Amino acid sequence: MNIASVKYKFGKSTDTYDDNAYAQKEIAGKLAALISAIYSCNPKTVFEIGCGTGLLTKNIVPLFTDAYYYLNDINEKVEFLINTLFPKNNFTFIGGDALSIDFPHGMDLIMSSSTLQWFDNLNVFAQKAHRSLSTGGYMFLSSFGKNNLKEIRKITGTGLEYPSLETLRDLFVSGFEILHLSEEEIPVLFNSSTEILSHFRRTGVNANCSGIMRTQSGLRSFCDKYNEMFSDGTKVILTYNPVYLVLKKKNNNDWKSNFCNRN
C-alpha cells in the first residue's frame, strides 16, 4: 500500500467527498445505528480511526455529548471540518496513518467506518486497538468484503485485497468477544462508466487503482467494456460490499493475535 498516494488522493477529494460518497454515507449511518442499538453505556472517551469528513462522527456526537473524542485521519485537511462538529471543543485531532500513530489509552469506545481496508497489517491494528481499549471496551468497525468494486476487478484485474469474514473472525476472536459480524452488497447506479470514474476521483476511492488506464485508448477500452458488461440499458452498476463488526474487549491484556497478515 502506497500511504503517500492514499493521503494525496483523499486530500485532493476533501471538498468533493461528501457529495459523492453515496455508499460510504449509507455505511456510516448503518454503523451508527449499530452503535446506538448495541452500546448502552455513556462513554467517557471515544476514539475514531479514519474520521474523514465526519460522516460517522456527526451521527455519534449527538449520542454521546459528554464524551471526550480523539479523532484520527491520514488527511490532516479534514481537521477544520471536524472542528465544526464539536461546539464544546471536546476533541483532539490526531493526524497520520493509523498504523504509525500512538493510539490513546483507556478508550471506552473505538469506532471506524470504511477505513480498515487500507491497513497493510491488520494484526498490528488489532493489537493496538486491544491495548487502547479500557477493560470491557467496545469497538465498532466497517470495512469491505471480497466483492467490493467487483466490476472494476473483473475488467482490470486490480484492486485491494479484502479479508474474508472468516479471516476477520480469526483475527479478533482471541482478544475480543464478537458480538456482530455481517456483510451486505450496496449497488450504486450511475449514468455511465465515465461517471463512475468521476465518482472515484471525487471520493479518493481510486487511491489504490490510479494509473490502471494510463492512455486514452486504455480509458476508452475500459469504458466500453464497463458499458457492455455492467449496464442494464440505461444505467451502469458499481457494487460496494461493506462488512460490519462489533467487538467487546476480553479481559486478557497480554493477548496477542495469531493472525498472520498476508501482504
pLDDT digits (tens, 9 = 90+) for 51-100: 999 999 999 999 999 999 999 999 888 998 899 888 888 999 999 999 99
Q: Which of 1-10, 45-54, 82-91 has the highest mean pLDDT?
A: 45-54
State percent of the chain over pLDDT 90.
Answer: 64
Could you tell me if residue 206 is inside a domain? Answer: no
141 or 212: which carries more pLDDT confidence? 141
- Give CA angle at 153 (151, 154), nearest 5°: 65
Give 4's pLDDT tier (boundaries 50, 70, 90): low
Question: Across residues 32-58, what is the average pLDDT?
Answer: 96
Q: Is the Cβ–Cβ distance between 136 and 248 less than 8 Å?
A: yes
pLDDT at 261: 38
Q: Is residue 18 part of a domain?
A: yes
Domain count, the chain: 1
- What phi and psi, each to the nearest 5 degrees, are found at residue 41? -90, 175
Angle at 176 between CA 68 and CA 65, to 5 degrees: 20
Q: Which domain holds residue 9?
A: 3-188+240-249
Q: Nearest-CA neighbor of 245 among 105, 145, 106, 95?
A: 145
> What is the share, in percent, of the chain residues with pLDDT greater than 70?
85
Q: Is the pLDDT of residue 149 over 70?
A: yes
CA 232, CA 207: separation in Å to the nearest integer? 28
Whole-model pTM: value is: 0.89
Quickly state the pLDDT bin for 262 (edges 50, 70, 90).
Answer: very low
Residue with cell 460490499: 241
Contact 186, 242 (CB under 8 A): yes
pLDDT category of residue 148 using cuts at 50, 70 and 90: very high
**For position 30, what pLDDT does the model report?**
98
**Position 201 in a domain:** no
CB neighbours of 124 closer than 8 A, spacing ≥ 6? 99, 261
Residues in the chain: 263
Give me the amino acid identity at 80: F
Determine the Cα–Cα distance for residues 101 and 122; give it in Å rounded to an integer: 15
Give the pairing of strands 91-95 and 107-113: unpaired
Q: Is 36 left (phi over 0), alpha (psi -120 to 50) or beta?
A: alpha
CATH code at position 184 = 3.40.50.150
Could you tell me if residue 212 is inside a domain? no
One-letter identity of residue 66? D
Element holding 109 (H helix, E strand): strand 107-113
125 located within any domain? yes
* Residue 62 near residue 70, CB atoms below 8 Å: no
Q: 245 in a domain, yes or no? A: yes
pLDDT of residue 238: 95
Does residue 80 fall inside a structural domain?
yes
Identify whether 98 is part of a domain: yes
Q: Count Cβ neighbours within 10 Å for each residue of 125-146 and write b for 16 or more, e otherwise.
A: bbbbbbebbeeebbbbbbbbbb
Cell numbers that stand for 160 in this block: 485491494
